[in-house]
Structure 1
């Protein structure tokens, strides 16, 4: 069990776990999940941590489709900062309690400002990391937003 799964069970949130054999040679953890699970990449979301205004420990979380890139200007705007940059992986791991490639938005050590790309808002379900490589969880975006106090906001550009 991961902290993400424990959180879902404790809060009695409907979810389905999807486990697969992770290939350490795959270039993209999120795209690997979509491919192996046979899912449309627009339904599989990755969890990214970014720092605000150049302060390495002033972090926020962005949850975006695996086939998109985070727009750092939109991320900064969401977090009410002037600029954003990707977090140092070591700091992201220490802060979240998860390893890179398995960072879940759920059950993190510290509740950070969390933003979900607006493309998820109209979905009945989507997939995010369940807290380790090779394990995703299917749930309603609205449930994830409640648990993480996330806001739906534009985070990518087409």
Structure 2
């Protein structure tokens, strides 16, 4: 397996966050997050995906449960804008320094505002991308919010 040290895990370590690692065989295609949840034996409601958006032309990041879809109007409002669209994958890779399928909200090259779906707080531990395809990190929701100085909003319903 590839190294489990990524900009995301370095950021969490530097912030003094306790986290666990889950590695799995990455498969590209649709429902990547749901595949990851199944591969590591985790309940998909605790596994969150990272989506890069453009809100009124500015970058933003939302983190939602893997089985759900983001409501772009709600995401735009949560990020202080009027309209949002998914960021072009190549642009997301340049901005974050991660490959699509391995984008983590932690350790991105350029810091952008981050909003978690409000369901994050319903769990004692959540699982997010660890900054590499096939690597997930598990941590307390409050640690994720603190490290990213993130906000919470209803992004999916």
Give TM-score scaled by structure 2 length: 0.94
Q: Which of 28, 47, 55 lines up with 1:44 in the alignment?
A: 47
Three-state SS of the structure 2 residue aligned to 1:121 is: helix
Which residue of the partner structure matches residue 13 of structure 1? 17
Matches within 5 A, 1:133-152: 133-152=133-152
Kindly state the Cα deviation for residue 27 of structure 1 after the two structures are TM-superposed.
2.3
Where do 5+ consecutive residues of structure 2 fail to align? none
Separation (CA, whole Å) in 2 of partners of 1:17 and 1:111: 23
Cα pair 1:125 1:138 within 8 Å, conserved: yes
Asked if 1:86 is matched to 2:90, the reply is no
State the Cα deviation string for residues 13-69 of structure 1 (Å, max 9, x = none). Answer: 010000011123x4222111111111111100000010012x2xx110000000000
Three-state SS of the structure 2 residue aligned to 1:23 is: coil
Separation (CA, whole Å) in 2 of partners of 1:103 and 1:23: 15
Displacement over 4 Å in runs of 4+: none
Q: How many residues align?
A: 153
Where do 5+ consecutive residues of structure 1 fail to align? none
Three-state SS of the structure 1 residue aligned to 2:85 is: strand
Separation (CA, whole Å) in 2 of partners of 1:123 and 1:29: 21
Give TM-score scaled by structure 1 length: 0.94
